[in-house]
Amino acid sequence: MRTKFWLLLALAAILLPGRTATARVWTSSNGEHRIEAELVGFDAERVRLKKRDDGKIVVVPLDQLGESDQKWIAELVARQAAAKAVLEKRGFRISSDGLQVPEELELKNGLRDLPPLKKAVLDADRKLESARKQVDDNRGAVEKLIEANRQLNAQLAMIRPTQITLNNKLVAAIQANKAQIVLTQEQGKKLEKQVETARGEAAQTRATFLEAVGKLRTLVVDIIAKYEESAKEDDVAAAVAAMNEALPGTYVLGESRTLAASIRELEKLQEHIDSDSIPLRSVAGRLVVSAVINDKHNYDMIVDAGSSLVVLPLAIAGQCGIEVKESDQNARLAHADGKIVLGKVVTISSLQVGRFTAKEVKCVVLGIDALNAQPLLGKSFLEKFQYEVDAQKCTLTLIEVAPEAKPPAP
């Protein structure tokens, strides 16, 4: 019995971090001393008590406590051991920071993977900026050569016919400049291809980073939902109450300090990545952006300012939990080839691109005859912001506006 008692005490040393409990009267084993104090922690050999009168911490060996106090601790530890078993069976992990679900470990591991992904984004952005500068410098060099030829041609027009040597010198300079212009323009074409490559790499690394962030955001939503659902279970709620019997508030079914720190870290890692100007990827001549549907589903969508509504194929809508009813409004969409495709108008709870999230977005879900259609990011999302699509730079610029303000057409 005594061995089991000490094992339970060792367990309690893990379960009870140093937090404040309700004060009670403690009695020494010989009955000569009594103090009113709060239990702030204990291990297999001693208890730590905070005196009610002066707030001082005293450490008392367990064997110097009265029999009733030792019994109270033993019963407390037994109740908490039973509660711990219930919580662990439900998938909770018990730590000094409180309760944790397994997904929180996955969240922490995911956060460790983000810094190199963020570095890749920043490196790719710098590479793209460098490539753009080379193109700008090249164009500037061409303009200077063209201007030089204008001046040379002006001089050539003003010389006298007898100035043959000067004429030949000017003509030679003009021809040399023309050759240099052609050469510089050819170099410019190569540099522009490098920009396209760098732009694609920048967009891809950003999409990879944002996809990883989106998964972690989804994980946070799932973790919080799991806590909320668990709080509705009577046995879980009773187990948490038992865990908090000695030190109230230590264990909660919700955002722990560790989870709060993980969320803050996630937000910090997104700094300098989310911006008003969102890089797009050029795929088969269409501009594509990564989007998050209903807080947790990541898909590439074609940016189509010509489409009045967001468009989703039926399969993607189903994967996102978007319900399509027979009673929903019918929609008819015309393809570029003139083919008419039927669909239903529904509402997406949320749609996020970059750092911009729109709520209650109208969307057309296509029928089974368009299963291979690509998702379109149309005006029902875009017009919730001031927006500009720059096909040359492959960017989508979004600016949030006041609810009463109407975004001007781009």
pLDDT tens per residue, range 249-260:
677 777 777 888
Task: Supply the pTM of this predicted model.
Answer: 0.57
pLDDT tens column, 202-254: 878 887 887 888 888 888 888 888 888 888 888 888 888 888 776 666 777 77
Q: What are the φ and ψ backbone dihedral angles of 355, each rounded to 5 degrees? A: -95, 5
Contact assessment for residue 6 and residue 44, using Cβ atoms and an 8 Å cutoff: yes
| CATH 3.90.105.10 is right for the domain spanning 277-399 | no
Cα separation of 282 and 207, whole Å?
13
Quote the pLDDT of residue 377. Answer: 94
Whether the per-residue pLDDT at 264 is higher than 50: the answer is yes
Cα separation of 314 and 205, whole Å?
29
Whether the per-residue pLDDT at 401 is higher than 70: the answer is no
Quote the pLDDT of residue 12. Answer: 38
Cα separation of 129 and 119, whole Å?
15
Quickly tell me which residue has 């810094």 as its tokens.
115
Whether the per-residue pLDDT at 410 is higher than 60: the answer is no
Residue 383 amino acid letter: E
SS3 sequence of 77-124: HHHHHHHHHHHHHCCCEEECCEEECHHHHHHHHHHHHHHHHHHHHHHH
Contact assessment for residue 39 and residue 47, using Cβ atoms and an 8 Å cutoff: yes
Tokens of 123: 């490196």
| Phi-psi sector, 80: left (phi>0), alpha (psi -120 to 50), beta | alpha
Residue 233, CB-side half-sphere exposure with 13 Å CA sphere: 13
First CA to last CA distance, the chain? 79
Name every residue whose Cβ is closer than 8 Å to that of residue 247 and which is 6 or more positions away in sequence. Answer: 16, 17, 19, 20, 21, 39, 40
Residue-range domain boundaries for the chain: 2-89, 103-231, 277-399
Report percent pLDDT > 70 for the chain: 88
Whether the per-residue pLDDT at 41 is higher than 80: the answer is no
Q: What is the dihedral of CA 322, 324, 330, 336, to 10 degrees?
A: 50
Cα separation of 385 and 402, whole Å?
9
Name every residue whose Cβ is closer than 8 Å to that of residue 324 and which is 6 or more positions away in sequence. Answer: 314, 317, 344, 346, 365
pLDDT tens column, 341-387: 888 899 999 998 887 889 999 999 988 877 778 899 999 999 888 88
Residue 118 amino acid letter: K
Whether the per-residue pLDDT at 6 is higher than 80: the answer is no
Grade residue 62 by pLDDT with cuts at 50, 70 and 90: confident
Measured CA angle at 174 (ends 173, 178), to 5 deg: 115
Q: Which of 4-18, 46-60, 248-262, 282-296 has the lowest mean pLDDT?
A: 4-18
Tell me whether residue 394 is exposed, middle or buried, using C-beta atoms within 10 angstroms of its C-beta: 0 to 12, 13 to 18, 19 or more: buried
Q: What is the dihedral of CA 83, 87, 93, 97, to 10 degrees?
A: -50
**Chain mean pLDDT for the chain:** 82
Q: What is the mean pLDDT of residues 140-157?
A: 92
| CATH 1.10.760.10 is right for the domain spanning 2-89 | no
Quote the pLDDT of residue 1. Answer: 32
Q: What is the mean pLDDT of residues 145-169?
A: 91
CATH class as words, domain 103-231: mainly alpha
pLDDT tens column, 111-140: 999 999 989 988 988 898 888 789 889 989
pLDDT tens column, 176-198: 999 999 999 999 999 988 987 88
Residue 381 has a CB neighbour count (10 Å cut-off) of 27
Cα separation of 341 and 335, whole Å?
7
Whether the per-residue pLDDT at 397 is higher than 80: the answer is yes
Listing DSSP states for 160-217 in one string gives: -TT-HHHHHHHHHHHHHHHHHHHHHHHHHHHHHHHHHHHHHHHHHHHHHHHHHHHHHH
